């Protein structure tokens, strides 16, 4: 897999965890017993890690990520049987089926999200 795609997937995973943690933040006793630190501290650490990983991306990929992530926390979407699971539009065969799948950073031509080929 392309290292930048891997980074994007990790950022997306952290972003999802961050959102879940922020939503669960009301239940502070549970969170503090799990993390041993406050929700704010945990969120701060996640933010720091996300920022660090985003900065490791080349500007072109980072800019696209930043644009996409402000609109949608799921900025990397799966392609299953040639369909983008972000917008459910068929992606061109050249994008969906390739020997070196996931070895390049590709985007859906319809919704612009990064594509992760599964099938």
Residue closer to Zn ion, measured from CB, 52 or 98: 98
* Edge-to-edge strand ranges of the sheet holding 114-117: 83-84, 76-80, 114-117
Residue closer to Zn ion, measured from CB, 5 or 111: 111
What are the structure tokens assigned to 21, written together?
A: 């943690």
State the nearest-atom distance from the C-beta of 89 to Zn ion, in Å.
5
> x/- site string to Zn ion, residues 67 to 106, per CB under 5 A?
-----------------x-xx-------------------
Residues that bind Zn ion (CB under 5 A): 84, 86-87, 108, 110-111
């Amino acid at each position: 897999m392309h290292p930048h795609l891997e980074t994007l997937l990790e950022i997306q995973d952290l972003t999802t965890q961050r959102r879940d943690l922020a939503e669960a933040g009301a239940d502070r006793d549970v969170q503090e017993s799990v993390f041993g630190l406050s929700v704010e501290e945990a969120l701060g650490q996640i933010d720091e890690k996300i920022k660090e990983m985003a900065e490791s991306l080349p500007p072109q990929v980072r800019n696209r990520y930043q644009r996409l992530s402000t609109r949608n926390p799921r900025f990397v979407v799966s392609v299953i049987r040639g369909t983008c699971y972000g917008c459910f539009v068929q992606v061109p065969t050249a994008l969906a089926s390739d020997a070196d799948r996931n070895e390049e950073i590709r985007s859906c031509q319809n919704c612009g999200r990064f594509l992760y080929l599964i099938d």
